[in-house]
Amino acid sequence: CFVKLRHRYYSVQVEYAVDDKISKQMLKYIGGCPKESIVDVTGTLVTAGIPVESCSQKHLEIQGSSFHVVSEAAPQLPLQIDDASRPLADDGPVVNQDTRLNNRILDLRT
């Protein structure tokens, strides 16, 4: 199970695997956590075997050992951060200006 953590302008990938600390049920719980939730993660920082193209920290990742949800986000957000971050020239959903202005706190995260 992979989780993308973001703090301000930086992002890093966290990898969870079944072991003596992490069960299959825990992986299912982590995978079902809504995007934009605030979480507390513990793990070991390691060099990534393959560069992680979707994160700003491409050559590092965290081998997760614990996962706690501090504040769960709403399951359906008014706009998806990935859609709002996408350049207009790319194919994909476009976030309208009204939606961006009405949800400025989310828009600032792009």
CA 63, CA 94: separation in Å to the nearest integer? 34
**Residue 76 contacts residue 49 (beta carbons within 8 Å):** no
pLDDT tens profile 37-50: 899 999 999 999 89
Query: What are the tens digits of pLDDT across the range 69-99?
Result: 999 987 777 666 666 666 666 676 777 677 7
